[in-house]
Chains A and B, each alone.
Chain A
Amino acid sequence: MLLNIKNLHVAINGKEIIRGLNLGVNKGEIHAIMGPNGTGKSTLAAAITGREGYEVTAGEIWYKDRNIVGMSAEERANEGIFLSFQYPVEIPGVSMTNFMRTAINAQREHRGLASIPAGEFLKMMEEKKKLVEIHDKLTNRSVNEGFSGGEKKKNEIFQMAMLEPTLAILDETDSGLDIDALKVVAKGVNQLKTDDNAFIVITHYQRLLDLIVPDFVHVLFDGRIIKSGGKNLALELEEKGYEWIKQEHLV
């Protein structure tokens, strides 16, 4: 199993948000995580990616057969975990090109490889830009600075394409996207999908899951996964909302 989360408890400033969560993800799978606002979806993403301030108070996160609780964010990234941010951060003064090259070289160093030759890097940039239909001008600018909402999300997928993660978490990548941008993002994800990687797609809406078809759908409520199913569960949620599951759970 690529990712195996066991009885995870996560607290922020002493307040417990994730309260006994279990989740297993194998290579080659796409998992969707849905659920009402404020139930811990983004907290789960932060805990897996190693964000400071998200304290794992109990439980384990096994990734590639190692418990990664306590591992730094950068080491997790270099081990192949990627987060597409719900709100990508603007970093004025740091060009996309330099940012990506620094990241790629960090990853290569972690794997005992030499820095990427300039020509190879530029070729790679060109290839991956096409994948997400990102404009040349965007990569010449500072990271996310002045990007539209859609451009920022495309830029996340572009970075994912560059870093080729084993486990990618897309945190509400569909929010703020129009239907055309959504299609571009979904196309990018589908092209990157292989039998050797896995995706966790956090979303509120079925429309993304029409384009990125999940193998499993989980409903997160009150810090726990309270229902899991196939892709049809998402359709059912779209139709009936979350109330019936909450009721079922409380009973």
Chain B
Amino acid sequence: MKNTQMQQGLPLDEMLLGTFERSKGLIAANDTPKVSRLRDAAMDIFRECRFPDSAHEKWRNTPIESLTEEDFVQQLSPSQADKNLEEMFRCEVHNFDTEIVSMLNGWYYDKKSDLRTLPDGVVVGSIGAAMKAYPELFEMYYGEIAPYALNGFTAINTAMAQDGVFIWVPDGIKASKTIQIIKMIDLEENLFVQNRNLIILGRNSELSLMHCDDSINQHCSLVNTVSEFVVGENAQLKLYKLQNLNDQSGLVNSTFIRQEANSNVKTNTLTFNCGLIRNCVQVMLNGPGAHADVLGLYLMDKQQHVDNQIRIDHNAPNCTSNELFKGILDDQASAVFNGYIHVARNAQKTNAYQNNNNILLKPTARINTKPFLEIYADDVKCSHGATVGQLDQEAMFYIRSRGISEANARLLLMYAFASDIISNISIEALRQRIDDMVKKRLRGELSVCEKCVLHCGSPEKEYHFDIDYSKL
């Protein structure tokens, strides 16, 4: 069965506008009235603004038109799985038992049920099923955290996204297992995918979430994901995003997090491979005493490009935030970091830290970094900084003078550079896993066909660099 839609010769935005007109009923089949209203409003925005391109100030250094001008197909209903998906998503991590939520080509995939309540009381399911089961939660939160008028991508996502993941951790519940969203792209056509996630943490609740974007094909795909997080009073969220897509693909990943009083959020965006990635993270610290750690690591080579747009809104007093992004860029790879901290007038006693460090391994690699603060309160502590450099030659000689080859000395220093992001991962088994992945990536051994973080073979038990550098 072929259920993909494509109109040859039409640009992506025109194709989407046409599909919306023709298939609104199908797209909005599960909607609550509010979700449906938002679709129309967001489409009006999109019709005007369309996709951004590098003529837009905020997209100046990210050639997004290289993707939006490609020909794509779109699926309006799930494809029939002809592969053994159980095998594909099988978890192989030792000592790391996760609750897996699978998405294939943008569609929630679970043979048993599309909405389930885990033994600890956490509700996990597809957005569509959740809208029917918990319409009041959608009325209260959906579209409230992600501003759909922000740009063409959030607008078109709000207008047309049909599926995604819903997680609700009710008040006082601590999710006993890490929930892992594995989003896999595997189609023999160029696919445009939109996902919409809504994750709600009630008061005094806790959740660890992994969000893996992977592709196992070699076709170009463009994934446009919008995730909304509501983090209730005194709740704790850990969010690990792993990005490992093929060199042809693009990912626009927009994450909006709203934090209430004394809540604690840690996000870690780990970018290993992808043709072009735009990560947008916006954290709104809306209740006093809230804290956010927003961390990231990107390891890019060839012609890959990653763009991290991080915005922290200090909207309440006594909140703290800590932002650290580190990157290693090889070959002709390029990166953008745009850090923006906004401190509202009443957000006294804010303590905010922002830093971006980069290593360029070749003169052809490029970074555009711009840390930025905007402060309206007068009793705050804010600092920001950015560094761009090469590997420390002093340290290189020190290591080599102990007999370690130049190639391994480089690896050792790159690994060391990345280590303070890795050491911040508080789940031990996951930290080891990421640690392995970073080492593999730095050695050039991590390939996208390993599908996802959980499928890259047996973990290394020991750390040593007996490596063939020629593979890098």
Residues of A near any B CB (own CB < 8 A): 49-52, 72-74, 77-78, 82-83, 85, 88-89, 91-94, 98-99, 101-103, 105-107, 109-110, 115, 118, 142, 159, 163
Chain A residues within 8 Å of B402, by CB: 77, 99, 103, 106, 159, 163
Complex Cα–Cα for A109 and B468 (A): 13
Chain A residues within 8 Å of B376, by CB: none
Question: What is the CB-to-nearest-CB distance from A94 to chain B, in angstroms, rounded to a whole number?
Answer: 5
Add 9 more A-B contacts to A74-B401, A91-B416, A92-B419 (CB < 8 A): A91-B413, A94-B412, A94-B416, A98-B464, A102-B404, A103-B402, A103-B403, A159-B402, A163-B403
Contact B417 A98 (CB under 8 A): no
Which 4 residue pairs are nearest across A and B when measured between Cβ atoms? A93-B416, A93-B419, A77-B403, A103-B402
Binds A, one of B103-111, B140-148, B338-346, B391-399: B391-399
Chain B residues within 8 Å of A93, by CB: 415-420
Chain A residues within 8 Å of B394, by CB: 89
Among B397, B415, B466, contact of A73 (Cβ-Cβ < 8 Å): B397
Residue in chain B with minimal CB distance to A104: B403
Complex Cα–Cα for A43 and B38 (A): 71
Q: Mark B370-405, 1 if CB is under 8 A from A, else 0.
A: 000000000000000000000011110111111111
Contact A110 B403 (CB under 8 A): yes
Chain A residues within 8 Å of B462, by CB: 118
Contact B416 A77 (CB under 8 A): no
Contact A85 B398 (CB under 8 A): yes
Tell whether A89 pairs with B398 under 8 Å between CB atoms, given A94-B415, A105-B466, A106-B408: yes
Complex Cα–Cα for A78 and B399 (A): 12
Contact A89 B400 (CB under 8 A): no
Chain B residues within 8 Å of A101, by CB: 464
Contact A107 B403 (CB under 8 A): yes
Residues of B near any A CB (own CB < 8 A): 392-395, 397-406, 408-409, 412-413, 415-420, 462-466
Residue in chain B with minimal CB distance to A145: B416
Chain B residues within 8 Å of A115, by CB: 464, 466
Complex Cα–Cα for A93 and B412 (A): 9
Chain B residues within 8 Å of A83, by CB: 401
Contact A74 B403 (CB under 8 A): yes
Tell whether A74 pairs with B405 under 8 Å between CB atoms, given A92-B416, A93-B415, A98-B463: yes
Question: What is the CB-to-nearest-CB distance from A44 to chain B, in angstroms, rounded to a whole number?
Answer: 15
Residue in chain A with minimal CB distance to B393: A52
User: Can you report 7 A-B residue pairs in the complex whose CB atoms are below 8 A from each other?
Assistant: A73-B401, A74-B400, A74-B403, A74-B404, A77-B402, A91-B412, A102-B464
Chain B residues within 8 Å of A102, by CB: 404, 408, 412, 464-465
Question: What is the CB-to-nearest-CB distance from B187 to chain A, in angstroms, rounded to a whole number?
Answer: 40
Among B409, B420, B465, contact of A92 (Cβ-Cβ < 8 Å): B420
Tell whether A74 pairs with B406 under 8 Å between CB atoms, given A51-B397, A93-B420, A98-B463: yes
Complex Cα–Cα for A6 and B92 (A): 61
Complex Cα–Cα for A115 and B404 (A): 14
Complex Cα–Cα for A52 and B462 (A): 31
Residue in chain A with minimal CB distance to B395: A89
Complex Cα–Cα for A50 and B419 (A): 29
Question: What is the CB-to-nearest-CB distance from B175 to chain A, in angstroms, rounded to a whole number?
Answer: 31
